[in-house]
Structure 1
Amino acid sequence: MFMSFPEEDLTCPVCCDIFTDPVLLSCSHSFCRTCLKNCWDTGLRECPVCRKKTSKSNPPSNLALRNVCETLLMVKRQSLALEDELSCIVHGEKLKLFCLVDKQPICVVCLSSRSHKSHECSPVEEALLDCKAELALSVESLQEKLHNLKGIQKTSADMIKYIKNQAQETQKRIKSQFEQLHQLLDQEESTRLQAVKKEEEKKIAEMKDKIKELSAEVLCVADTISFIQDRLKEEDMGLLKNFRSTQDRAKSTGLGSDNMSGLLIDVTEHIYNLKHRVLEKLFDQVGYTPVTLDPNTAHPCLILSDDLTSFHYTKQPTCCPDNPERFHMSAEVVGMTTLGSGSHHWVVETGSNQDWLLGVVSSSVPRDTDILARPENGFWTLCLRDGEFRAMTSPPIVLTVSRTPEQIKVQVDYNKGMVSFVDHADDTLIYSFTDTFTETLLPYFYSQSSHPLKIIPEKVLVTMLRQ
């Protein structure tokens, strides 16, 4: 607004500078309040320009003029600041170039200086466009990063809920399995207590029979004693005449069996190594599974059993977090047992399942990409699909089998680099891989069938180490 008239119209006639706190006289002339006061202190109270006298000792402020002057001064200060900003702080020249090495504006003198002499430069106009474009890309990249971070933040919140559900479900399964163990122990305890009770009743019955026999014998002996005592009271000749019969009766009254062995309860039979024998019986009933499935790696379309020893495929995916360990592309899952040196084996019951892959994979196989199950990709597997058995080599080999096995034994000899597949029913070899393993392996399973694949438990043998 103030640029519509010359700057001299905003200058005080006394100090010849921009008005400071201007006052307005009745003659329409304006002066700085301080300048006017100084003039009046030295002479008459009159206008320094037209000499017209005024009666007011304190003329009013010219507010409109003061606002314009303050705005002009502010613009001047901004202009000077901008000019300083556009000038080199070292040489005072305008910043017309942009150093592409140091990423800063420079003047033409800087270009010839030692600091920038060998640096590539461009005009600030071109550099401005390039910098804006680069920053726009940075903003785009950061916006994408922000979007990803928000996604991770949401996923993390969802994972907290999933972890809580996992903990509750795991605790529920633990309680269920301990309840089964408690039930087995209670049954075993009841059986053994009943055995003791049964033996107690048997021994007591035997002792009662023994006491009954002894009571009869006691009466018989007492009668014989009484009879002999009566004979002793007879006359001498009568005693002699009846002596033989009396003696025969005394001899015929013999003592019963006094063998008391085996009448007590066989405590040792019930107590010896009781915990060990109960443990052996528990092992016979619960078994041991050499491979347990890892639910954190299972594809969302796989449903795992509560004891993590079997699974089947469903078209309706479950709600689970998108964690890095999980297979995302196909219906795969691995066991939690890491296979390193030594020999390992497990048996998988395939049953009616006609679409599966079994074997081992390298621990580092990617979980978020779709790759071929080949040895060069870290897969050593046997496949059943479309009624054909295939060894998943490069390319796959179609295998001929005399019958379709329902249980497949997977054998791994890590040190020899061998992975073998055997028909568990008759130990017939189906196929064997030979390779060199460079990292640990994991049991591998794949299926797109609603019929389950199940890892068969093994019988546990308890042996004693004698030193």
Structure 2
Amino acid sequence: MIMSLPEEDLTCPVCCDIFTDPVLLSCSHSFCRGCLKRCWDSGLRECPVCRKRASKSSPPCNLALKNVCEALLQVRRQSSVEEEMMNCNLHGEKLKLFCLVDKQPICVVCQSSKLHKTHDCSPIEEAVLDCKDELTISLKILQDKLDSLKHIQRNSEDMFGYIKSQVLSTQRIIKDQFEQLHQILYEEESARLAAVKKEEEEKTARTKERIKDISAEVQSLRETISIIQEQLKENDMVLLKTFKDTQDRCRSIAFGSNSMSGLLIDVTKHLSNLKYTVLEKMLAHVDITSVTLDPNTAHPCLILSDDLTSLHYSKQPSHCPDNPERFHMSAEVVAMTALGSGSHRWVVETGRNQDWLLGVVSLSVRRNVEISARPEYGFWTLCFRDGAFRAMTSPPTTLTLSTTPKQIKVQLEYNKGTVSFFDNVNDTLIYTFKHTFTETLFPYFYTQSSHPLRIMPEKVLFTMLRQ
């Protein structure tokens, strides 16, 4: 619409140029404000065209004409820039090709030069489409990465509250057990509370540092995404000229590790066999369990006892962070004890629990996907479900037992490559797996019953050696 107006309609009669800040006289003639002022300063206060006397008040701005003139000047400037952008800076020729090696637009003279003679080129029109497609793909990848980092960031922030609840729970349990050991254990209790507090500070500091790193990555990604979005809005030639720099910026972004492993409070370290560690002070008999559950691996629907020796299923999942160590798909948990060599055994009281799996599992088992409990997937387990016992081989082996054991002894001979299950009451063998173990193993527990599975304590005797 602007270009359809005759240019003389937009030209000041005094300076013969496009109006600048035009004003309107009562006679309907318009002039640049500066031109009119110079005319009036050197003569009568009248219209320079029709000589009609003007009022003494300042003439009003011709806003409509001003807007049209400014729009015309803008179009001229843009056309000039676009025309300049379309020509080669070196040869003045029109940029018609895009060098696929150097990722920049070139002219036909450039193509014949030594710099680009051996390079593959494509027409500008094709290059624009290809570059837009490539930038769109890069933008999608970066946006997905940003979403992933935001999720990790939110989960990291959630860990603050959970770490605090772990600290409070752990401190409460420690206090309860130390109260049972009376005043003689006061110094030990204080030392352990201090250890929990120190670990809280360390884990909190590490978590803050991780969030700081993630925030920096998020900011970097946002800036790069913003740049790409702005480039996609530019005209084609601007996009092509800046394409290489933009892609180099995308490739230069280095992402840190997304792992959040090891940030939770090591509850087992503070609570495992707590009473046993102070037996030398008590000089008496206490219970000890060779296997202690690791709450940082427990599925949210599993409820663990304060002493980490029993578990049962709840339909109401607890609120816990989505840390990598945790089982996410089914009601599973492993013990903290790593089994890498030698002989190991523990007894689990099943009681009235009618739905359980017990055994060992490999360290490398994935915990965020649903996997069948089979040896080929790193599981060596005994299952009791629907009133039947099964050894979880491939396929499962149904077992016939004369009685239903209430206590199951699990015995691992790592070096010999066997995992055996016994009725602990009469020491009757139920089933033995044979396998050559190459990975670290962990005691494994699964249940979907509200009746608990309990790791039975062992009695330990202290004897005094006299010289």
State yes or no: 1:452 paired with 2:455: no
State yes or no: 1:351 paired with 2:351: yes
How far did 1:456 drift? Answer: 0.5
Say which SS state the counterpart of residue 380 (structure 2) adopts: strand
How far did 1:338 drift? Answer: 1.0
Q: Distance in 2 between matches of 1:31 and 1:432?
A: 102
Change (3 A) 1:18 1:450: closer
Structure 2 residue runs without a partner (length 5+): 187-277
Residue equivalent to 1:225: none
Residue equivalent to 1:417: 417
Contact between 2:22 and 2:30, CA under 8 Å: does it hold in 1? no
Residue equivalent to 1:219: none
Q: Distance in 2 between matches of 1:22 and 1:423?
A: 103
How far did 1:447 drift? Answer: 0.9
Q: Distance in 2 between matches of 1:458 and 1:31?
A: 102
Say which SS state the counterpart of residue 356 (structure 1) adopts: strand
Structure 1 residue runs without a partner (length 5+): 187-274
State yes or no: 1:146 paired with 2:146: yes
Residue equivalent to 1:215: none
Residue equivalent to 1:380: 380
Q: Distance in 1 between matches of 2:21 and 2:351?
A: 102
Q: Distance in 2 between matches of 1:157 and 1:31?
A: 62
How far did 1:360 drift? Answer: 0.7
Q: Distance in 1 between matches of 2:332 and 2:102?
A: 53
Q: Distance in 1 between matches of 2:445 and 2:356?
A: 7
Equivalent position amino acid for 2:282 in 1: L
Give the total of aligned pairs.
368
Contact between 1:22 and 1:61, CA under 8 Å: does it hold in 2? no
For residues 162-197 of structure 1, give each alpha carbon's deviation from its aligned partner in whole angstroms, at most 9, with x where no partner exists: 2111111111111111111118989xxxxxxxxxxx
Q: Superposed, which structure 2 residues align to 1:22-421 within 5 Å?
A: 75-182=75-182, 279-281=282-284, 283=285, 286-421=286-421
- What TM-score do the two structures reach when normalised by structure 1? 0.66
Based on CA coordinates, which of the two structures has the bigger radius of gyration? Answer: 1
For residues 179-226 of structure 1, give each alpha carbon's deviation from its aligned partner in whole angstroms, at most 9, with x where no partner exists: 11118989xxxxxxxxxxxxxxxxxxxxxxxxxxxxxxxxxxxxxxxx
How far did 1:22 drift? Answer: 10
Change (3 A) 1:61 1:87: farther
Moved more, 405-414 or 75-84: 75-84
CA RMSD across the alignment? 4.2
For residues 345-382 of structure 1, give each alpha carbon's deviation from its aligned partner in whole angstroms, at most 9, with x where no partner exists: 11111112121111111112100111111111111111
Contact between 1:12 and 1:32, CA under 8 Å: does it hold in 2? no
Q: Distance in 2 between matches of 1:112 and 1:351?
A: 87
Say which SS state the counterpart of residue 459 (structure 1) adopts: strand
For residues 147-169 of structure 1, give each alpha carbon's deviation from its aligned partner in whole angstroms, at most 9, with x where no partner exists: 33333333223221121111111
- What TM-score do the two structures reach when normalised by structure 2? 0.66
Say which SS state the counterpart of residue 122 (structure 1) adopts: strand
Change (3 A) 1:7 1:280: same
Equivalent position amino acid for 2:177 in 1: Q
Q: Distance in 2 between matches of 1:147 and 1:119?
A: 38
Change (3 A) 1:435 1:466: farther
Q: Distance in 2 between matches of 1:306 and 1:392?
A: 30
